[in-house]
Amino acid sequence: MSTLILLLATGLGLGGLYFLVASGLSLIYGLMGVLNFAHGSFLTLGAFVGLAAGNLVGAGTWGGLLLGLVVGALTGAAAATATELGLIRPLYDRHIEQVLVTVGLSLATVALFEGIWGPNPRNVTRPGWLASTTDVLGARVPNTAFLNVLAGAVVLGGIVAFLRYTRYGLIIRAGVENRAMVTALGIDVRRAFTLVFAVGGAAAGLGGVLATQSLNYVSPHMGASLLIFAFIVTVIGGMGSLTGAAVASVVVAVLQQLANFYLNNTGDLIVVLLLALVLLVRPSGLLGRPA
């Protein structure tokens, strides 16, 4: 019983991380039709810069972590905004080229990160509480899981509120449905593009710093490995559906944890099988609109 609780809790925590990456991917794809391969780099950059900022206050302190999270999110947002303005916008509506550019950017930036920070993972210093566990019904749940769930929930709530209650949120929701009609109402939808990139980048940057706390290291490759699962989550949830991404994040992560424990470390493979199954039954994903 306690094992199951532990697996569910760590699964939820991992799901929170997946969602931080997948939410941006899903929003960007939903509005712009762009699959952003550079999203992992926003995460990695956010992690490195956020940690560096936190270390100025003090490695392993709550103040440092808090500053790191803020700086990580801002860094991710800035990198994403620059990417949209500099590389995506000049290729307006040429989706294949836009994807290619993000592919090039991801290859180039990971190499650059390796050059700057070295290719190997580096350990991080965490606040004491985050490095320990809490007893939940007999299960010793790592405290990072709580932090990740909290962050995922806050970001989900924040994005939902943003989409529901602001004018730009309205434009984004309408644009996901029918972008051409939004422009035919006299709205410059490109500003919304920059905005979703910024929001997605911020979530990824935040996710980057959080991931370092769970993994207990920071590495130039952490973005790429999380990105692949975020891709899977996005497809399973239905491309462009935020709630779909949230549900799929949790399902995928929990399933992964369960399979890793009960089925001989096969979590990654089970997830791919789940993806194949979902596509066979519902090609548009769990909550996606039928194509």
Partner 1 sequence: MSGPNVLEVRGLSARIAGQEVVHDVSFEVPAAGVTAVLGRNGVGKTSTLRAVLGLVERSGEVLLDGVRVDGERTDRIVRRGVGYVPEDREVFAGLTVAENLRLAHRAGPGGTTAEHRALVDALFPDLATRAAQRAGTLSGGQQQMVSLARALLNDNRILLVDEPTKGLAPRIVGEVAEALAAAARTVPILLVEQNLQVVERLADRVVVIDAGRVVHTGPARDLLDDADLLQRLLGVHAETEAAR
Partner 2 sequence: MNRTRTLLGALGTLVLLACLPLLALPVPGVLPGYTYEPGSLQLLALCWLTAALALSYHLLFGLAGLMSFGHALYFAAGTYGLAIVLDRTDVPLLPAAALVLVGGIALAFVVGAVSLRVTGISFAMVTLAFAQAGNVLVRRDQGDLTGGEEGLALATAGVPDALVGVVNTRNLYWLALAVLVLVYLVVLWIERSRAGHMAAAVRENEVRVRIIGGRPYLTKLVVFVLAASLATVVGMAYLLLQSGASPATSTADFTLTLLVMVVLGGVGSRWGAVVGAVLYTVLDQRLAELAHSDAVAGLPAVLRIPLSEPMFLLGTCFILVVIFLPGGLAGAAERLAARRRPVPEGAAA
Residue with smaller CB distance to partner 1, 173 or 282: 173
Q: Is 232 in the site for partner 2 (CB under 8 A)?
A: yes
Beta bridge partners of 44: none
- Extract the tokens encoding 258: 């369960």
Percent of residues in the chain assigned helix, strand, coil, to nearest 5: 75, 5, 20
Residue with smaller CB distance to partner 2, 116 or 180: 116
> Quick one: what does residue 178 bind among partner 2, partner 1, none, with the CB cut-off 5 to 8 Å set by partner type?
partner 1
Q: Is 258 in the site for partner 2 (CB under 8 A)?
A: no
Stretch in the footprint of partner 2 (CB under 8 A) among 9-17, 71-79, 94-102, 128-136: 94-102
Which string of x and - marks every residue 68-87 that binds partner 2 (by CB under 8 A)? -------------------x
> Quick one: what does residue 93 bind among partner 1, partner 2, none, with the CB cut-off 5 to 8 Å set by partner type?
none
Of how many residues is the chain composed? Answer: 291
Is the four-CA dihedral 192, 195, 200, 201 of positive or negative sign?
positive
> Quick one: what does residue 279 bind among partner 2, partner 1, none, with the CB cut-off 5 to 8 Å set by partner type?
partner 2
**Dist. CA 131–CA 220, nearest whole Å:** 22
Q: Is 35 in the site for partner 2 (CB under 8 A)?
A: yes
**Dist. CA 67–CA 79, nearest whole Å:** 18
> Quick one: what does residue 189 bind among partner 1, partner 2, none, with the CB cut-off 5 to 8 Å set by partner type?
partner 1
**Dist. CA 88–CA 11, nearest whole Å:** 34
**Dist. CA 236–CA 288, nearest whole Å:** 9
Q: Is 159 in the site for partner 1 (CB under 8 A)?
A: no
Which of 3, 166, 178, 225 is close enough to bind partner 1 by CB under 8 A? 178
Which of 5, 66, 103, 170 is close enough to bind partner 1 by CB under 8 A? 170
Residue with smaller CB distance to partner 2, 104 or 138: 104
Chain positions 95 to 134 lying near partner 2, rule: CB under 8 A, are: 95-97, 99-101, 103-112, 114-116
- Give the closest residue to 163 by CA, choosing from 23, 273, 276, 34: 23
Q: Is 184 in the site for partner 1 (CB under 8 A)?
A: yes
Q: Is 150 in the site for partner 2 (CB under 8 A)?
A: no
**Dist. CA 137–CA 140, nearest whole Å:** 8
**φ, ψ for residue 194, nearest 5 deg:** -60, -40
- Extract the tokens encoding 27: 């929003």
- Extract the tokens encoding 141: 């749940």
Size of the site for partner 1 (CB under 8 A): 17
Query: Least separation, in Å, of the C-beta of 182 and partner 1?
Result: 7
- Give the closest residue to 270 by CA, choosing from 279, 257, 280: 257
For the chain, what is the total number of helices (H) and then of strands (E)? Answer: 11, 4
Which of 4, 137, 154, 181 is close enough to bind partner 1 by CB under 8 A? 181
Secondary structure of residue 123 in the 3-state scheme: strand
Residues that bind partner 2 in the complex, under the rule CB under 8 A: 29, 33, 35, 37, 87, 90-91, 95-97, 99-101, 103-112, 114-116, 224, 228, 231-232, 234-235, 239, 265, 268-269, 271-272, 275-276, 279-280, 283, 291
